[in-house]
Structure 1
Amino acid sequence: MTVTTFRPRPEPAEVARVTATAAELLEVLWGRASTAPASASQLRVLLILEHHEGINLRSLADSLASTPPSTSRLCDRLQAAGFVRRAVSPVDRREVRLYLSSRGRAFLTDLRTRREITLEAVLDLMPAAKRTALLEGLEAFCDAAAAQIHDAAQDPDSRTA
C-alpha cells in the first residue's frame, strides 16, 4: 500500500520564488551558450522584432522602456551587424519600420538550438514524471503570461508593476 504525501496547494508567492530561482539558473546555464555578438539589450530587440515585424522605433522604445534616441543607437548597431533592416513606412514617409533580417533570424535559431541542448542535458537528469509535470505547468504559465501581456497591450492603463 502506497501512502500519498499530502502537499497543500502552493501559494503564488512560493511558486514565484521558485520560478525566479529557476530563471536565474537558466541565465547561468544559458550564459554558457553565449549571445555574442549581440548584447542582452540587443537580444531583447531581436526578440521583439521577431514577434512584431515592422514595429516603428517609438513603439520599440516603449516596449524596451527606453528613449527613441537610445533605441535608435541600439538598432544602428544591430543593423551594422546585419541583424536588423529598416524601411520607410509606406503610409508615413517620416516613420521608419524595423524588421529582423535573415541573418538575425538565423542568429536566433542558432541561439535557441544551443540553449535547448543545454536544457536537455538538465532535463535528462529529471525523472520522466517530473518532466511531464514541469511541461504541463510551463504550458499553463505560458498561456497565463501571454493572456496578461495581450490584455496589457489592449489596455495600457491596466499594466501592473
Structure 2
Amino acid sequence: MTVTSIHPRPEPDEVARVTSTAAELLEVLWGRASTAPASASQLRVLLILEHNEGINLRTLADLLASTPPSTSRLCDRLQAAGFVEREVSREDRREVRLYLSSRGRAFLADLRDRREATLRGVLEKMPAGARNALLTGLEAFCAVAAEQLNGHEDEPGSRTA
C-alpha cells in the first residue's frame, strides 16, 4: 500500500479500512519478530494480568469472553511455563488471585523490544512528516480506544471531533 496524498477530511470508513490493513500487517511483522513460547490466547492473558494484577479467574474469564474452565487451563499452562503465579485470596480462601511472574514480565518486555525493533525498521523508511502524522493519529486513537475499553463511553463512535 502506498500513501500518495494527505486527505483533508478522510471518511471514517476509509480510515477504518486502512487501519484494519495496518493491523493485519502489524500481526505479520510481529509474528516475524516473535519466538514466543505462548499462543495468542496465552499472550492475551499475560497482557491482561500485566494491567490487572491480582484479578480472580472469573474476572479474567469475563475479560477474555471465555469460560472459567477454559481460562483455568490457559493459566495452568502459563503457570507451568513460569509466566503466571496464583495466590489464595486473603479475603476469601476459595478465591485464587492471578499475578504476572517476574519471568512473565521479562517475556513481555523482550517481546515488546523485538516488536519495536521490527517496527523501527519500517518507520525509518517513512518520511518524517508521515511518521509525525502517524504518531499524532495513533496517540488520538489510543486515547479514544482506552476510554471505550475502560467503559467511559457508552457507544462506539459517539465521540465528536
TM-score calculated relative to the size of structure 1: 0.90
Any conservation in 1 of the 2:86–2:96 contact (CA below 8 Å)? Answer: yes
Residue identity opposite 1:106 in structure 2: A
Structure 2 matches for 1:22-37, cutoff 5 A?
Answer: 22-37=22-37
1:35–1:53 Cα change, 3 Å? farther
**Unaligned runs of at least 5 residues, structure 2:** 157-161
- 1:97-136 Cα distance to aligned partner (Å, 9 max, x none): 0000000000000000000000000001100010000000
Instruction: Flag as ranges the 4+ runs of structure 1 deviating above 4 A.
Output: none
Letter in 2 for 1:19: T
Conserved 8 A contact 1:35-1:43: no
Match of 2:144 in 1: 144
Matched, 1:76 2:76: yes
Compared with structure 1, are the counterparts of its residues 35 and 49 closer, same or farther at alpha carbon in structure 2 (3 Å cutoff)? farther
CA deviation after TM superposition for structure 1 residue 8, in Å: 4.2
Compared CA separation, residues 159 and 42, structure 1 to 2 (3 A): farther
Once the two structures are TM-superposed, the CA of residue 7 in structure 1 deviates from its matched residue by: 3.6
Distance 2:11 2:121 in 1: 29
Question: C-alpha root-mean-square deviation of aligned residues, in Å?
Answer: 1.7
| Structure 1 unmatched ranges of 5 or more | none
Q: CA–CA distance in 2 between the matches of 1:89 and 1:44?
A: 23
Query: What is the identity, as a one-letter code, of the residue corresponding to 1:46?
Result: L
Task: Show the 5 A alignment for 1:10-159.
Answer: 10-151=10-151, 158=154
